[in-house]
Amino acid sequence: QAAPGPSERSPRRWRRPTAAGAEKSRNAARSRRGKENLEFFELAKLLPLPGAISSQLDKASIVRLSVTYLRLRRFARGPGHGRDPATRKYSYFYQRR
């Protein structure tokens, strides 16, 4: 026997969120934001900046400075550092020139 087609199934009904469900969702979002903020704070502490400065950075600044720091570290090591010469031409450093 074949499964019922889309027209034979009962239509899906959307339920209104209850107060308890809405509160649970808000708490989950608050928890996620708290964990995310903690990770950003830890990342900011790893940057080579004084604590007074890194503690005042917003999320976007932390990401921008982290990416820039990693690019500068790679640049300072020189082209192809620790890479096989055969694959050196495919490195990010050479592609960005």
Q: Where residue 82 sits, what CATH number does that domain have?
A: 4.10.280
Q: Which domain holds residue 67?
A: 19-95
> Which pLDDT belongs to residue 3?
63
What is the pTM for the complete model shown?
Answer: 0.59
> Which pLDDT belongs to residue 79?
75
Contact 48, 69 (CB under 8 A): yes
Contact 44, 63 (CB under 8 A): no
The answer for residues whose C-beta is within 8 angstroms of residue 88's C-beta and 6 or more apart is 79, 80, 94
Specify the number of domains making up the chain: 1
Is residue 46 domain-resident?
yes
The whole-chain average pLDDT of the chain stands at: 82
Is residue 1 domain-resident?
no
Is residue 52 domain-resident?
yes
What per-residue string of b and e applies to 36-51 under the rule 16 or more CB within 10 Å gives b?
Answer: eeeebeebbeebeeee
Is residue 4 domain-resident?
no
Report which of residues 30 and 89 the model is more confident about.
30
Summarised one tens digit per residue, pLDDT across range 68-87 is 999 999 988 887 665 566 55
Is residue 14 domain-resident?
no
Is residue 10 domain-resident?
no
Is residue 90 domain-resident?
yes
Is residue 43 domain-resident?
yes
Query: Of the ranges 7-16, 25-34, 43-52, which one carries the lowest mean pLDDT score?
Result: 7-16
> Which pLDDT belongs to residue 97?
47
